Structures are given as C-alpha cells and as structure tokens.
Structure 1
Amino acid sequence: MSTQTEVIDGYVAGTWKIDTVHSDVSFFVRHLGVSKVRGHFAAFEGTIVTGEDPLESSVNAVIRTDSISTNNESRDAHVRGADFLDVETYPEMTFTSTAIRPQTSELFEVDGELTLHGVTKTVTLSLELNGFGKGFDGNPVAGFSAATEISRGEFGVTGGAAGAAVSDKIKIALEIEAGLATEG
C-alpha cells in the first residue's frame, strides 16, 4: 500500500504561513429564510504544519472578529455588537486542528476546536488540497479550500431580537494560500 505522500503530487512537509493577501475567510447566513447574506473577515492569520505523514499535519488560525464585512456598515456595526459577535469582549475566534482523516488523495476531513464568543466546540472541516507549487519568487506555495457549517446558537451568538430574522446555521468557506516559512 502506498503512503499518503506518494499520492499527493508535489507534497512538501514543513511549516507554512497563511498568505492573507491571497486567502479568504467567508461565510453566508440565510436572512428571513429567503436570501443569503454573505460576508468575510479581513484580518486573520495562521500556520499550517504539513507533516512527513500528511495525516499528522496541523492547522492553527486566529480571526479578528472586528474585521467582519458584509458590505453594509450599519449591519456590520450591529453584528460586531453585543447581540452577535460582541467584539469588545471576544476580539478573536480561533481554530486548532486535532485530527485529519483522508477521504481521497485530495479530500480530507479536519477535526478541530473552534472557539467563538468564548465557547469552544469541535467542528469538522471538509478540506480539499488544491496543490503544491512555486510562487513568483520561486518559493513553495500550497493551496487549500475548506468548508463547514456551525450553529451560532451553540456558540452563544443569539442575535438578540434580530436573531429571529437570521438562520441559526452559518456556512463557512475558506480559500487558503500559504507560503513555506523560511529559516531566519
């Protein structure tokens, strides 16, 4: 039987820094049950460690909750407030992986601990390995797409009176490009 690295084209073990210029942390939530409101977080950072055995890899990420944008400043201000994210009290959400399971050579499930609004819950990301390559500077780059769905209520994000207009389920989508960290 082949090892996982033998079936991942161009696989490189190492520590990778998320390239925030070429990455995106987005979400969407249903409003009034009929439309989807989309948004993203502009400020985030993270490290991906790809192990010699890909299934021993790990991810750690931090997202600044006050960087939320839904392209409507009034709505964003409300979502930053105590009814939803309460960014003054909870300025960050974090994700730390705990396990990786293969589905195919390019599809994985990544379990981890998501901390949001002071509550930590286990979530599973569906992860697609988009590949390994070289950046314009010749240094290694890697790309990943991931998605999950969370219940905002499970994290204590009620929404106050406006919460009834917004679905409990929030879909999260990540498009990540990372560069191999260099020594020194």
Structure 2
Amino acid sequence: MSEDSLTRVVDGVYVPRRGVYTLDPVHTFVSFGAQHLVVGRVRGRFADVSGTITVGDTSTDLTLDIDIDPASLTTLNDIRDTDLRSARFFDVANFPTMKYRSTTVTVIPQNRWLIEGELSVRNVTRVVRLEAAMGGVTVDSQGMARVGYHATGSVTRTDFGLTTDLAKESSGVVVSGDVLISIDVEATRSRT
C-alpha cells in the first residue's frame, strides 16, 4: 500500500491513513434527543466542539478525544436553552467543559467500531459506548486528508447529576432520563 493512499485495509476493516486528525468545528456536530411528554422528542446540539482522532497501526488503534462547550447548546428555544445551561442541568458557569475520551475500540461487523470511553459532565465521569462508522476519506480543497465518522450512543442523564424536580413537577413524563447522542465528525489530518 502506498504511503500516499488515503485508506488502507487493516484486519479486514477500512481505516484512514495513520496520523492525528483535528476535528473541523464547522463540520462537526454533537446532537442529542430525549423523549418529551411521552409523545414527542426534544432535540438539540452543541455548536462548540473540538478535539482529535488519532489513527494508529491496527484497526482498533483509534483514539477519540473530544471537548464540548455545554454553553454552546441550542434546542432552538431560548427559554429551554437557558434552563439547560443553568445549575438545574449543565451548570455551565461552574462546569464549562464536557469531555469524551475513548479507552477501548473493538471492530464489529459491517466495517463499524464499538468505542468505549469516558464521558465527563459536571465533573462526573461515566463509561459511555458509541457505535461508529467511517463515512469516507477524501482530499479537501486545501489539499488535506479529510475523514468523516458518524457515531451514536445513549446516556442516562441522572448518571451525570442532570437531575431536577421534573419527576415531581410532571409525574415523570416531561423529559425522559435516557438521552440519545449522535456525533457527526469531519477531521483533517495534520501535515507532517
């Protein structure tokens, strides 16, 4: 395989060329959704996301390192966004950064990965599993190798201290405890 190739097959899985890929903040989205009033879903996203993906020699030698600014969240509703940023939920004044750091990566069928890592929210760290797939690799208009990934997972918000009196206020039906996470990433390989 040529060193100039964008991808390679390792252990039967397509992986990008070795290196450190920096997340492109314009093309990286961390979104969330939670059941609302039993009949719908509240959706939102964090606009300020940074980090790296480090690709090594094997199909599981992949490290994900992401920082998220919880103050950058939007659900397209100012009242709800203010509440979510408050001490009732993310408490962004006291906890300005959320972090996800992968710890293990396992190849699963259909060219996908199961990524286990530690998510830190409000200084509470829990193991969170993500299922990921590579969207592709290309050379962008700047001549840089660009890789895309999509990952999904879920968390229980109360595990991170994101608790309020919602259960008392609504008989437990305003917003579910389980939150779905969707991550879409584009990252460029650092020039060496």
TM-score by length of 2: 0.88
Q: Structure 1 residue 9: deviation in Å?
A: 4.4
- Aligned-pair identity in percent equals 30
Q: How does 1:115-154 map to 2 (within 5 A)?
A: 115-154=120-159
| Contact 2:145 2:188 (C-alpha < 8 Å) held by counterparts | yes
Matched residue SS, 1:21: coil
Deviation (angstroms), 1:118? 1.5
Runs of 4+ in 1 over 4 A off after TM superposition: none
**Residue from 168, 175, 179 that aligns with 2:184:** 175
Q: What does the per-residue CA deviation read over 1:25-79, in whole Å, with 9 as the maximum and x for residues that have no partner?
A: 1010111111101100011101000011131110110000100100011110011
The 1:105–1:71 alpha-carbon spacing in structure 2 relative to 1, beyond 3 Å, is same
- In the TM superposition, 1:96-111 aligns within 5 A as 96-104=101-109, 106-111=111-116
Aligned residue for 2:61?
56
TM-score (norm 1): 0.92
Cα root mean square deviation, aligned? 1.7
- Give unmatched runs, 5+ long, in structure 2: 1-7
- Which residue in 2 is equivalent to 1:88? 93
- Local SS of the residue matching 1:25: strand
Is this contact kept in 1: 2:116–2:127, CA < 8 A?
Answer: yes
Deviations 1:5-39 (A, max 9, x none): 26444731100000111111101011111110110
Q: Name the one with the larger helix percent.
A: 1
Give the whole-Å Cα distance in 2 for the aligned partners of 1:10 and 1:153.
35
Shifted more, 46-55 versus 159-168: the winner is 159-168
1:30 match: 35
**What residue in structure 1 maps to residue 84 of structure 2?**
79
- 2:162 is matched by which residue type in structure 1? V
How big is the shift at 1:104?
A: 2.8
Q: How much does 1:160 deviate? A: 3.1
1 CA distance for matches of 2:97 and 2:136? Answer: 29
Aligned to 2:4: none
SS across alignment from 1:55: coil
